[in-house]
Amino acid sequence: MISKKVILTGSFGVGKTSLFQRFLTGQFNEKYLTTVGAKIAKKEIYVDGHKVALLVWDIAGEITQDKVPASYFLGASGIVYVMDMSRPTTFAHLEDDIQFLKNLLPYGVFKIVANKRDLVSDERAKELLESLPYSCDFVTSAKTGDNVETLFQEMATSLLENHHHG
């Protein structure tokens, strides 16, 4: 079995913990819970007959250099960068954040996620996605479960490909 560390990161309140919970338990909690430090959980999924253990780290708050200990990123293979579609300010640091993360993890697999799709209109969603400096890999809703399983399945598939070619 292959084990890979995946980090959920992005601004405060974008739904990292909700995505984490939805993926691990299939549940959604309406209560906002601030993450302190990091929550870590493991879930095994299958990709093309291979069992992949995803060690998912839900990291508190902003990713800027001074806020998150760089040690959290040690040994990570994948990063899920989460933004909140109902709060465009959470898209503001996308370019800088991705650059910072790519320097930390040059061979990492990155998935850029616009979460909380259930809170914005189709028109607003389209506008936001078109305004991004990078293309968004997934549009999710932790609340409805839309695309959450797919996101992690795709992450595992990419990590497995990297593992075999790396």
pLDDT tens readout for residues 73-128: 889 999 999 999 999 999 988 999 899 899 989 999 999 999 999 999 999 999 99
What residue ranges do the domains of the chain occupy? 2-165
Q: What's the number of CA atoms in the CB half-sphere (13 Å) around residue 42?
A: 9
Task: Return the CATH fold of 2-165.
Answer: Rossmann fold (3.40.50)
DSSP letter assigned to residue 112: E
Helix (H, G, I), strand (E, B) or coil at 39: strand
For the segment 116-145, the average pLDDT, to the nearest whole number, is 95
For the cut 60, the answer to whether the pLDDT of residue 65 exceeds it is: no
For the cut 80, the answer to whether the pLDDT of residue 11 exceeds it is: yes
Burial class (CB in 10 A: 0-12, 13-18, 19+), 87: middle
Residue 56 token pair: 């998912």
pLDDT per residue over 24-62, tens digit each?
Answer: 999 898 876 677 778 899 999 999 999 999 999 998 766
